[in-house]
Amino acid sequence: MRLVILDRDGVINQDSDQYIKCPAEWQAIPGSLTAIAQLNRAGVKVAVATNQSGIARGLFATDTLDAIHIRMQTELAAVGGQIDHLVYCPHGPDEGCVCRKPEPGLYHQIAAYFGCSLSGVPVIGDSARDLAAAVRVGAHPIRVLTGKGARTAQEPAWAPVPAFADLQQTVPYLLEQLT
């Protein structure tokens, strides 16, 4: 099976330091939805793993997060794409859970869902925590410069990780890696 794991905020949609708190605040990064559709058409399964501590912080409820994801899926469907599996961590940074990236729990959930190893699976993220979780499960971390990606690019530990301007720019590389 060919699989790609994406972070959400900063990779698929615009990120905000004030959090994406409602469907109206969710705005796709130009080209990200067509990139996902292109992967789908090539037979690649697309999973999303996202930290959503806004729930723990009381900024929005789980049903609001569901509505945000419905908007994302609806906009994706309009361009012929879909997310095959989505997992999120609702915990705050101080709760000590195993699912909040950089912990690998979300990625383990994806592996269990698809019944596969994540060894070498491309994981696209904009933050160091996305990349660190990928390394912990033996996946192949890839950086995008959207979202927090420009900040992450300043961290020397992530310099050797392949980097692209945005999700759309990763598609040729991903398709080559997944052949």
Q: What is the CATH number of the domain that holds 124?
A: 3.40.50.1000
Mean pLDDT, consecutive 10-residue stretches, the chain (179 aa), reads 97 96 98 98 98 96 98 98 98 94 98 98 97 98 96 91 97 93
Residue 55: predicted pLDDT:
97
- Residue 80, phi-psi category: left (phi > 0), alpha (psi -120 to 50), beta (remainder): left
Are 171 and 142 within 8 A, CB to CB?
A: no
Domain that holds residue 41: 3-177
Count of domains forming the chain = 1
Residue 172: predicted pLDDT:
97
pTM metric for this prediction: 0.97
User: Which residues are marked as active site?
Assistant: 7, 9
- Write b or e for each residue in 31-68: b if 16 or more Cβ atoms lie within 10 A of its Cβ, otherwise e: bbbbbbbbbbeeebbbbbbbbbbbbbeeebeeebbebb
pLDDT tens digits, residue range 57-87? 999 999 999 999 999 999 999 999 999 999 9
Are 21 and 59 within 8 A, CB to CB?
A: yes
Residue 179: predicted pLDDT:
81
